Chain A
């Protein structure tokens, strides 16, 4: 008797096969990602604290959030953190172009730039904390070469703390985006560049007219994920400043964490989380729309 192949018996279309393979992942996602997110919505309407009695409080948590000075400050700080996005993209594209060249020993640089990405944020933050303290190496070097008179407490000063954290985030993330752009660069057909060269284009012109335009899908992807990461930044802030001094580096993720896991106000922190999620969704839609309309046209 002729045996029917398994997938033919299971379903006739290719889509059925795809669903079959995706099912385990989707089930896990549904259980551990989608369901908790959905569950956060009714939770935000309660005073849920895990350990105490739960009562329905309506929209009180959202009203409270809009009057909570620390939360507003944390949102402003999170939005300010987005400033890091264009810089991280520009520098990682430049680095990718640099390490894409055929210079001898360039693989060492590729590896070196990637090391911060694979280093744990805890280690990175502790090292930077050490370098940046009042009597740390950075202050020592800067004052030795006469660049500053008084030593700066980079992470304890409200004027410098957030910018310093942004710099650390950028330093750590550069290698990650560089690798994505490097993959993008290597997918650009060489004959396009060679043809341009034959037509008399110089290096800068090929970068501007060929490389950058063809990297556009990569720029879109990296911008989107780095934007989300910037708004959700947590690790470096948690380890280095805990939101201080004052509220100078308090980000929305840290404040949500503090409300939930330190104050047991899980209902309130769910409401705060939903507000941030809506913000990220709106920003993402704007970027999608912007990209659909052509985005920044460099040529």
Chain B
């Protein structure tokens, strides 16, 4: 409560951003006027200073009236800092945010709508599945920037010990389950790590919300059947019964308690540090897909707060940072994936130098066209996901009755959706 009060007290009056009301800003500087565009990124300094210095210098030379003031904050600090600044009427102009935060802010009318600002050609530069992840009610709250796609990391030793051929990895969730069973049976290790999140239903193309997004639609026999399959896997020890957060995922894989893990590139460095011997046994293959045939991507976006005082310059800079050429250059130095169609065609993404990093890069790059940033397209998406995830945890971990728990979650989600 103290923190809430402090934050609120930072603003002026009960609506801290009254002066910079949503969409109530100037469209840009007057001709010839010198403006400073404040640009915030997350944890990119000092590693990428050279890249950004060059990028900023190039933009400034193309736009002599604009000066970019680049600031970088750690992930944990950026949200609080952003809210404090907006509340105090000192919003930055261009900000790097993940999809969830971008959507959270967007639904409160705090971000500029890129569908209004961009031409059809500019929008077509991005992979549609990724661009649409921040679209709601016809508004697009963010420009996708760099992204990451999960790949399946395998412990080659454990896989071979189970009599499986790592050169012919599982391609579907069904095959992944079969591999998991065999690994458990032959080696005693868990097959793979399973996150009990709401998005697992979407990956299997199972109903989630009604077509008009007005009602919960997950309380069906198909969902129950899918849950029962997973319950059996948990019972048979194919997947561990712990709630697997990222750190635990690293822990399980690094200690060879689990043979396969769906994760993205940063996972490699974690294992390399935690268990170099396990790193040497690792392979990266494309992640198996569920019945929906999509792969969950984890995208970093560029947003422009609607409280910006220089909307035009901010939008121009956001487009510049995330254009195909600049994304390609950034991917090359940061080992990330681009969200632009053109950059992904570069041979860099199909070159595999034989290292694990090279493997992960090529297998994830070929999956970009199947990439979707999981988002269910309603204002209270976070609440809805949380309710469904909690219901799934109750069933998977605590033996709650599936039908009863799904019905209860359905009622709660309907309530959130305003029914």
Q: Chain A: residues with CB nearer than 8 A to chain B? A: 32-33, 35-40, 42-43, 46, 48-54, 69, 126, 129-130, 133-135, 153, 155-159, 241-242, 244-248, 256, 260-264, 266, 269-270, 273-274, 276-277
Contact: A158 with B394, CB < 8 Å? Answer: yes
B105 interfacial by beta-carbon distance below 8 Å: yes
Contact: B9 with A51, CB < 8 Å? Answer: no
Contact: B83 with A53, CB < 8 Å? Answer: no
Contact: A52 with B242, CB < 8 Å? Answer: no
Cβ of B246 to closest chain A Cβ, rounded Å: 12
One of A35, A134, A274, A276 near B242 (C-beta < 8 A): A134
Contact: B4 with A264, CB < 8 Å? Answer: no
B257 interfacial by beta-carbon distance below 8 Å: yes
A/B interface sample: 27 pairs, CB < 8 A: A35-B9, A36-B3, A36-B6, A36-B8, A39-B8, A48-B8, A50-B86, A50-B87, A51-B83, A51-B86, A51-B110, A53-B15, A53-B21, A54-B15, A133-B242, A135-B257, A156-B241, A158-B397, A242-B245, A244-B390, A245-B243, A245-B393, A245-B398, A247-B390, A260-B4, A266-B4, A266-B8
Main secondary structure of the interface of B (DSSP, over half): helix
Contact: B397 with A156, CB < 8 Å? Answer: yes
C-alpha gap A257/B390 in the complex (Å) = 18
Contact: B108 with A48, CB < 8 Å? Answer: no
Collect the chain B residues with CB atoms within 8 Å of residue A53's CB. Answer: 15, 21-22, 109
C-alpha gap A270/B9 in the complex (Å) = 13
One of B11, B17, B305, B394 near A245 (C-beta < 8 A): B394
Cβ of B387 to closest chain A Cβ, rounded Å: 9
Collect the chain B residues with CB atoms within 8 Å of residue A39's CB. Answer: 5, 8-9
C-alpha gap A256/B79 in the complex (Å) = 17
C-alpha gap A253/B247 in the complex (Å) = 23
Contact: B397 with A245, CB < 8 Å? Answer: yes
Contact: A134 with B8, CB < 8 Å? Answer: no
Most buried by A among B8, B9, B245, B252: B8
Given A35-B5, A54-B14, are A244 and B108 also a contact pair (CB < 8 Å)?
Answer: no
Contact: A40 with B4, CB < 8 Å? Answer: yes
For the A-B complex, the count of residue pairs with Cβ-Cβ distances under 8 Å equals 139
Most buried by A among B4, B22, B383: B4
Contact: A32 with B243, CB < 8 Å? Answer: no
Within 8 A of A (CB), among B68-122: 79-80, 83, 86-87, 104-105, 108-110
B35 interfacial by beta-carbon distance below 8 Å: no
Contact: B398 with A246, CB < 8 Å? Answer: yes
C-alpha gap A48/B110 in the complex (Å) = 13
Within 8 A of A (CB), among B8-55: 8-9, 11, 14-17, 21-22
Cβ of B112 to closest chain A Cβ, rounded Å: 13
Cβ of B398 to closest chain A Cβ, rounded Å: 4
Contact: A50 with B383, CB < 8 Å? Answer: no
Contact: A130 with B251, CB < 8 Å? Answer: yes
Given A135-B257, A266-B4, A274-B1, are A51 and B242 also a contact pair (CB < 8 Å)?
Answer: no
Given A129-B248, A134-B242, A269-B4, are A52 and B383 also a contact pair (CB < 8 Å)?
Answer: no
B240 interfacial by beta-carbon distance below 8 Å: yes
Cβ of B239 to closest chain A Cβ, rounded Å: 11
Nearest 5 A/B pairs, CB to CB: A36-B5, A273-B1, A52-B108, A51-B110, A54-B15
Minimum CB distance partner of A276 in chain B: B1
Contact: A43 with B240, CB < 8 Å? Answer: no
B333 interfacial by beta-carbon distance below 8 Å: no
Cβ of A1 to closest chain B Cβ, rounded Å: 49
Contact: B4 with A270, CB < 8 Å? Answer: yes
Most buried by A among B243, B257, B400: B243
Contact: A43 with B397, CB < 8 Å? Answer: no
C-alpha gap A269/B5 in the complex (Å) = 10
C-alpha gap A130/B247 in the complex (Å) = 10
B7 interfacial by beta-carbon distance below 8 Å: yes
Collect the chain A residues with CB atoms within 8 Å of residue B252's CB. Answer: 135
Collect the chain A residues with CB atoms within 8 Å of residue B3's CB. Answer: 36, 260-261
C-alpha gap A51/B11 in the complex (Å) = 11
Given A51-B105, A51-B110, A244-B393, are A133 and B251 also a contact pair (CB < 8 Å)?
Answer: yes
Contact: A263 with B4, CB < 8 Å? Answer: no
Collect the chain A residues with CB atoms within 8 Å of residue B7's CB. Answer: 50, 266
C-alpha gap A244/B397 in the complex (Å) = 10
Contact: A37 with B5, CB < 8 Å? Answer: yes
Contact: A157 with B248, CB < 8 Å? Answer: no
Given A36-B6, A156-B241, A266-B8, are A49 and B108 also a contact pair (CB < 8 Å)?
Answer: yes
Given A48-B14, A53-B15, A126-B247, are A134 and B2 also a contact pair (CB < 8 Å)?
Answer: no
Contact: A246 with B390, CB < 8 Å? Answer: yes
B214 interfacial by beta-carbon distance below 8 Å: no
Collect the chain B residues with CB atoms within 8 Å of residue A46's CB. Answer: 14
Contact: B109 with A43, CB < 8 Å? Answer: no
7 other A-B residue contacts (CB within 8 Å) besides A36-B1, A36-B5, A245-B394: A40-B4, A52-B109, A158-B397, A242-B245, A256-B4, A263-B382, A264-B105
Minimum CB distance partner of A268 in chain B: B4
Cβ of B186 to closest chain A Cβ, rounded Å: 18
Cβ of A179 to closest chain B Cβ, rounded Å: 26
